[in-house]
Amino acid sequence: ETGVTQSPTHLIKTRGQQVTLRCSSQSGHNTVSWYQQALGQGPQFIFQYYREEENGRGNFPPRFSGLQFPNYSSELNVNALELDDSALYLCASSLGPGDDSPLHFGNGTRLTVT
């Protein structure tokens, strides 16, 4: 089975720009969660999508937005980039939104904002 894939792997943007990160979920998974991981920290929950609807959101401003497509792949969009947005962005898919379904993570997208 194909695992979770994220693109691009690395990205450099300038403050104020917009960015779109992409995630293909593992085969058979209908739920995608996005996390931000700063250097030396644990992943911080951004939001989760279940069957194309947002199913929970962490403490991130509205300039962080997302989509899930009918094939369950997903996008994370960040507008008006700030220097503090520099981080590793992780996508995780699961069989469902509950805790009976472990998260399967991709390798992440490293975003640098200058």
User: Is 45 or 75 the residue whose CB approaches other proteins more closely?
Assistant: 45
Using the contact rule CB under 8 A, the part of the chain among 10-18, 63-71, 75-83, 92-100 near other proteins is 92-100
Residue (of 47, 52, 33, 42) closest to 91 by Cα position: 33
How near is the Cβ of 57 to other proteins at its closest, in Å? 7
Is residue 48 within 8 Å of residue 94, measured between CB atoms? no
User: How far apart, in whole angstroms, are the C-alpha atoms of residue 29 and residue 61?
Assistant: 27
Q: Please give the structure tokens belonging to residue 19.
A: 């960015």
Residue 19 interacts with other proteins (CB under 8 A): yes or no: no
DSSP code, position 83: G
Could you say which of 11, 20, 58, 110 contacts other proteins (CB under 8 A)? 58
- CA dist., res. 62 & res. 53, Å (int): 16
Q: Does 66 bind other proteins (CB under 8 A)?
A: no
Query: Is residue 108 involved in binding other proteins (CB under 8 A)?
Result: yes
Given the DSSP bridges, would you call strands 87-94 and 104-105 parallel, antiparallel or unpaired? antiparallel
CB of 38 to other proteins, least distance (A): 10
Q: Which of 11, 13, 30, 45 is in the footprint of other proteins by CB under 8 A?
A: 45
Q: Whole-number minimum distance, CB 3 to other proteins, in Å?
A: 8
Task: Work out whether 55 is an interface residue with other proteins (CB under 8 A).
Answer: yes
Query: Do residues 32 and 47 make contact, with C-beta atoms less than 8 angstroms apart?
Result: no
